Amino acid sequence: MGKSNWRSFEEARAFVHNLQLKDGKEWIIWARSENKPNDIPTYPDSAYKNQGWISLGDWLGTGTVAHKNRTYRSFEKARAFVHNLQIKNKNEWAEWSKTEAKPEDIPADPRQIYKDKGWNGWGDWLGTGAVAAFNRAYRSFEEARIFVHSP
């Protein structure tokens, strides 16, 4: 079915909102099912590209914004916020970041968002100062031997 036979963007989006689908996965399952009317496109991002399309979250009515399209606090401000939480390790962070307490402008996976913007490991992010073993600087073998043999 071509563009001329589709419902208007506003009508189609209102119809889809009533379905109460939660995410893109549910959308694809529904869109490929026999329940989808012929005048609702399977790929609304293409069909309504210049006719009101904003995002999948807008289309479904969830308000969800893709991680790549979100605006986050600067690394410095986000890290300062996180330091005040006194979270001790990556596991505690993972649990906390799933809660309602996490502001939308603090990423759940800061490694990806701040990769080239100051990210220097979990110890730096959390303020614990811990350094992963693979990132630690060790003495050379000769220096370590001298240290061990010294009184």
Q: pLDDT by residue for the chain (151 residues), tens digit each? A: 555 689 999 999 999 999 999 999 999 999 999 999 999 999 999 999 989 998 899 999 988 877 667 889 999 999 999 999 999 999 999 999 999 999 989 999 999 899 999 999 999 999 998 776 667 677 888 888 888 998 8
**Tokens standing for 107?**
């990423």
Residue ranges per domain, the chain?
3-64, 70-135
Sequence-ordered strand ranges (E) for the chain: none
CB 69 within 8 A of CB 55: yes
Q: Identify the pLDDT of residue 2.
A: 54
CA–CA separation, 10 and 122 (whole Å): 45
Residue 62, Cα to own-chain centre: how many angstroms? 15
| pLDDT at 88 (0 to 100) | 94
Q: What pLDDT, on a 0 to 100 scale, did the predictor assign at position 3?
A: 57
pLDDT confidence of residue 87:
96
Contact 132, 122 (CB under 8 A): yes
pLDDT confidence of residue 94: 94
For the chain, what is the radius of gyration of the CA atoms? 24
DSSP state of 134: G
Dist. CA 111–CA 6, nearest whole Å:
42
Are the C-beta atoms of 47 and 38 separated by less than 8 Å?
Answer: no
**Which of 65, 46, 47 is CA-nearest to residue 56?**
65
Tokens of 16: 């889809």
